Amino acid sequence: MPRYVYSFDEADWKNKKLLGGKGSSLAMMTQLGLPVPPGFTITTEACKEFYKCGEGEITKIISQLEKQPPPEIRDKLIEKLWNIIDSLELPKGLMDEVVEHIHRLEKKRGRLFGDPDNPLLVSVRSGAAVSMPGMMDTILNLGLNDESVEGLAKQTGNRRFAYDAYRRLLQLFGKVVLNIDDKVFDEAMDEIKEKYDVKSDVEIPEEGMVELVERFKEIIEEEAGGFPQDPWEQLRMAIKAVFRSWMNPRAIFYRIANKITPDIADCTAVNVQSMVFGNMGEDSGTGVVFSRNVATGDNELYGEFLPNAQGEDVVAGIRTPMPVSELKSRFPELYNMLYEKVKLLEKINKEVQDVEFTVEKGTLFFLQTRNAKMTPLARVKTAVDMAKEGVINREEAVLKVQPEHVLQLLYPRIDKSSGAKPIAKGLNASPGAVSGQVVFHPDTAVAWAKEGKDVILVRVETKPDDVHGFYAAKGILTSRGGMTSHAAVVARGIGKPAVVGAEMIKIDYDKKLFSVNGEVVKEGEWITIDGNTGEVYLGKVPTIQPEVIPELRELLSWADEFRRLGVKANADVPEDARIAREYGAEGIGLLRIERMFRKPERLEVLRKVILSETTEDREAAMYKLSELVKDDFKEMLDVMDGLPVTIRLIDPPLHEFLPKPEELLKEIYEMEREGAPKEAIEEKQRLYKRVVALTEANPMMGHRGVRVGVTYPEIYKGLVKAMLEATAELIKEGKNPVLQIMVPQVAIVDELRFVKENAIYPIAKEVEEKYGVKIPFMVGTMIETVRSALTADEIAREAEFFSFGTNDLTQGTYSFSRDDVENKFLPQYLELGILRFNPFETIDKKGVGELVKIAVEKGRKANPQLEVGICGEHGGDPESIHFFHKVGLDYVSASPFRILIARLAAAHAALKEKYS
């Protein structure tokens, strides 16, 4: 028979998958000699065995829930799921092991489980292999009943404390084990507070606590047939309930949202631990402490302590706690011990630690440690600092910071020059400034977000059941709670801006509004929250982009040492190039010239080029246009002096630069109606006929890219002339321009050969003779058609470089028009699971990726000197970057604001390959 139970002092704490994160941490701390209440862990293998009988049906329901059905369907699926789980039984032999380990606990603690005079009480807590804060369930004070509560009172000399412990058990057992709505317990608590005229639970007198216990027992009797007085039955039911919590809706949603697949965490363990009590008076309490400041990254103990409170009170955000630094004056020796042990845990785990602790009558106990969830600022700063301190090495520091952390670090801040005044201020729990429409319920947040609305979820305090609303919302605002409350921890974990504990805000759920300082904000009205400062504003407030912090620059300089892939930028205008260079781009991998033509005087000349009916007219107009855009090319090459600039020849269908036929018809109608001169009307009619003649049925697969260069070489000649003259002028000025000319949409090698022989090299010769300088430049092509990928060996003999245009290559591979697909059926494909991801955001490795591999292999075989990169949007996607590293590309090119992300992702790809 398999073994399911291990005590903290014997378990292999390195086996996190078996023991879960919490069980692993408790075993580690116990074996290190930290003061940990003794206990044992029921492994994840027991949980998997528990679910084995209902596995098939459960899997089907989970797959339906993954599609995020409407609330009414979701609720029916959850009811069906829980009916299946309720029918399951604990694994054979498990309770025998549990009983044996409870008896061991009795000997260690000198108390007896179920004894009316000297009761042993335990907590029953969940713990998966990865941290899922607040997503699963906990029961405290288990083992109490109507008899042992009096025994506990005598044992401690504190009857109020004993009944406070009992009422907590009744509420948690009712909610977690018996599925009673927490609201009915809260209402009963509020009635008692009102009766005794107190504001918080700690002020309720002894007789009020006794009365509250009786009321809670009545609720359980009415809702579930009564509270089990047998402690062993309580324990059996609690273990089953914690197993069941692995499949509660919030846990399922959290795993889906965070991509926690079965190979990462496949079930929860259960930790049974003897109780210590933080609610025994003002010399007791409960707290959460971080080994460093999780908001700023500063090397200081950071956290909160709540006197006369128990476990869940701090993270629930029900009362606002005091800073942990106040322990220094209350319990200086205890604080010093806390500091020493927390820093030890950080050193061993090589990570900032999030530690739960309890103080019972001045004695410190550790209840859990886990890797902390931090703001992006803290994540970067702590990684750099810990590397400099020798806690970790530079490679480990780089791997600790994820690309999404860098993205979040660039979240906007409030523009103070806007003059906006905050209406409230809370704690800056998670960074970023966002605007959204106020909603008060997580289901509303989900529904509105699906309609494309930006929402801010506003709650008194959040609970784990609200997690689906977190993911739907742009930001979170609460009126209660501290920096370690549920709202703060989850928001930091998922990168959502959050302001918590804004106590001046008064929320009315029934009326769907909140009020603050005379202002009333109703559901649907706009507010702005700034998670950087904790401030709340009415309406939409302008934001600005933050500066790159020194620690990030330093970390990325380390990343640059480890990466193999080069990182370039996609750009439209010189300002893009300046930003890209500032962010560390090693060149321009794609300069799209089309935006240069949008200035009115240039657009007019380009239209003459397009509408010309003779080569001579086109050449004349193109000469003028060449002079207009030359300075733009020169500025771009100058900004990137010494680094390659890849300029793409004109790519879009020519009709995109012309007026729409229906607009011209409307203008002709207006001219005729207003009596415009006949000659003017006839000119407009000629334009209309020419535009109609140029209109294509499928323009994205029609007369565009290289096909324009073949049919109208004078257009490409003019553009090449401007590029080469700009380069020549910079050379004569003593600069070092590095020009690469890229021909788009090549599908046949002879297209590239034709353009080189007729539009590029002849012009190069003319410009070199004109300026008297030798102009070094390269000619290459975009691989963005399926045929070019399949015949890459032929094309590589004519090209000096390839750059994959993965946007068009994806369209061609799928026969998808991106604009139509994303607006019509792609969301439904993702919802139904037909597509697992948007192929325009992350490279499709099986289809488009296979074409990339074929082209790289064939191209390099034909031309070993071939430079190969990618300039589609996938160049800034971390997952795609890992693929491009693996298939041997030389560089990726991304939008300027994704350069930092690409540098880090490229380093991750190299380091993971190194250690795989």
Active site residues: 486, 871
Burial 36-65 (b: 16+ CB within 10 A, else e): bbbbbbbbbbbbbbbbeebeeebeebeeeb
Alpha helices (H) along 705-772: 706-711, 713-732, 749-755, 761-771
Instruction: State the pairing for strand pair 122-128/138-142.
Output: antiparallel
Instruction: Measure the CA–CA gap between 288 and 357, rounded to whole angstroms.
Output: 6
**Which residues contact residue 735 at a Cβ distance below 8 angstroms, ignoring those fewer than 6 apart?**
637, 638, 641
| C-beta atoms surrounding 444 within 10 Å | 21
| C-beta atoms surrounding 430 within 10 Å | 33
Residue with tokens 């000399």: 157
Which residues are registered as beta bridge partners of 803?
782, 869
DSSP conformation class of 802: E
Selection from 783, 771, 685, 681 nearest residue 730 by Cα: 771
Residue with tokens 């309770």: 95
Count of alpha carbons within 13 angstroms of residue 251, beta-carbon side? 22
Token pair belonging to 725: 């003259």
Instruction: Measure the CA–CA gap between 800 and 779, rounded to whole angstroms.
Output: 6
Token pair belonging to 895: 């939008």
Total number of residues shown for the chain: 916
User: Amino acid letter at 417?
Assistant: S
Token pair belonging to 100: 């044996």
DSSP conformation class of 117: S
Instruction: Measure the CA–CA gap between 284 and 278, rounded to whole angstroms.
Output: 5
CB-neighbour burial class of residue 760 (10 A; exposed 0-12, middle 13-18, buried 19+): buried
CA 427 to chain centre: 21
Identify the helix (H) or strand (E) that includes residue 152: helix 148-156
Query: Given its phi and psi angles, is residue 460 left (phi above 0), alpha (psi -120 to 50 degrees) or beta?
Result: alpha
Instruction: Measure the CA–CA gap between 23 and 13, rounded to whole angstroms.
Output: 8
Residue with tokens 């397009």: 610
Token pair belonging to 95: 């309770």
Contact yes or no for 7/39 (Cβ under 8 A):
yes
Token pair belonging to 224: 């579930």
Contact yes or no for 357/365 (Cβ under 8 A):
yes
Token pair belonging to 415: 């523009």
Query: Between the CA atoms of 94, 97, 98 and 104, what dihedral angle is there, to the nearest 10 degrees?
Result: -170
| C-beta atoms surrounding 398 within 10 Å | 25
Contact yes or no for 272/143 (Cβ under 8 A):
no
Which residues are registered as beta bridge partners of 357?
287, 366
User: What HEC string does 751-764 produce?
Assistant: HHHHHHHHHHHHHH
Backbone angles phi, psi at 860, to 5 degrees: -70, -30
**Which residues contact residue 239 at a Cβ distance below 8 angstroms, ignoring those fewer than 6 apart?**
42, 90, 94, 98, 124, 270, 272
CA angle 313, 442, 354 (to 5 degrees): 35
Residue with tokens 């504190």: 158
Cα dist from 618 to 278, 609, 712, whole Å: 85, 5, 9
